Amino acid sequence: MPLEIELAPGRMIGGDHPCFIIAEIGQNHQGDINIAKQLIKIAKEAGADCAKFQKSELDHKFNKAALARPYTTKNSWGKTYGEHKRFLEFSHEQYRELQQYSKEVGIYFTASGMDEAAVDFLDELNVPFFKIGSGDTNNLPYIEKTAKKGKPMIVSSGMQSLDTMKKVYNTVKKYNDKFCFLQCTSAYPLEPEDVNLRVIQTYQKQFPDIPIGYSGHESGVTITLGAIALGAKVVERHITMDKTWKGSDHEASLEPDELKELVKQIRILERSMGNGIKTMRECEMFTHSKLGKSVVAAKDIPAGAELTSELLTVKVAEPKGYPPENISNLIGKRTTRAIDYDDAVREEDVVMQ
């Protein structure tokens, strides 16, 4: 199974490819398709790769009693939970309209299928990849059915254990080698103490042949940048036009300026990661030529003298001399010429054999 996958047409993730940034609109559109379109455009203008929604077929996701229960919180859009969810749920035709708008804007479009019927609809829409929300990650029959469709998958891991994630990995792997896991904690908003970014490293060790990413519900951008530094290849953050709006996700979302800043900082951080090979960089040459130190004579040294540590010291010298990190190689060697006090000791001044 590859560590790099084509998540969407023409867009690879993993390896040295740029982090894939998902702007999770979810249901922060307030049931208004025009707000949904504005959020898609905001995601595109901020530099995100994908605008993502949440699609449910309510009679498949909830039983009748769950839909009929009273729902009277400050975030409610109806007297019952069913009324609330129906208010926020876009129709199939509206999803096609949003997909077409995303195409016109120039951003990938997908959604979390919150039940098997929703996944079937998203497959019909031909979304580039399936996103599995944390609430369905341990729903192994759903995971298996989705994996069999053959599209790339991104699987969040909120509320799950490592043992469960191993089962998910083995379930998907039987049918599909194009998937990745996201470290996630399902709390809104999320406190830093509960983020557990080191799980990214745990996943990298446990599942070394798939990309690993991060889905965050915290405030601000700092923690998500930490995920990038740990090697996250996909990040997902909720977005909103106003954190004070009605709805449970808005407070844990990024406003437009925050999303734009996050994307900017991710791209800067990626440039800074390098290849892990420690060498002197070209940009350091000027500083080294000005301030880099060399071995110099601590006193006058006659020609043919055997070098000892008392005869040598280290200073910024002109011209450059023998590198001080190798000064021990000079001890016991004889000079080929007389070296005056404070002059640089160069390799050709010493018989090195």
Nearest to 259 by CA among 229, 213, 216, 212: 216
What span, in angstroms and rounded, lies between the C-alpha atoms of 131 and 300?
Answer: 74
Whole-number Cα distances in Å, 42 to 21, 111, 244: 13, 17, 18
Beta bridge partners of 237: 23, 216
pLDDT digits (tens, 9 = 90+) for 66-101: 999 999 999 999 999 999 999 999 999 999 999 999
Sign of CA dihedral 251, 255, 261, 262: positive
* pLDDT value, residue 2: 54
Q: Where are the beta strands (DSSP E) in the chain?
A: 5-8, 11-13, 20-26, 50-55, 108-113, 130-132, 153-156, 179-184, 212-216, 234-238, 293-297, 312-316, 334-335, 350-351
* pLDDT value, residue 1: 40
- Does residue 302 contact residue 335 with C-beta atoms inside 8 Å? yes
pLDDT digits (tens, 9 = 90+) for 103-137: 999 999 999 999 999 999 999 999 999 999 999 99
Per-residue pLDDT of the chain (353 residues), as tens digits, is 458 999 999 999 999 999 999 999 999 999 999 999 999 999 999 999 999 999 999 999 999 999 999 999 999 999 999 999 999 999 999 999 999 999 999 999 999 999 999 999 999 999 999 999 999 999 999 999 999 999 999 999 999 999 999 999 999 999 999 999 999 999 999 999 999 999 999 999 999 999 999 999 999 999 999 999 999 999 999 999 999 999 989 999 999 999 999 999 999 999 999 999 999 999 999 999 999 999 999 999 999 999 999 999 999 999 999 999 999 999 999 999 999 999 999 999 999 87
Residue 304 is classified by DSSP as: T
Amino acid residing at 216: G
Amino acid residing at 121: F
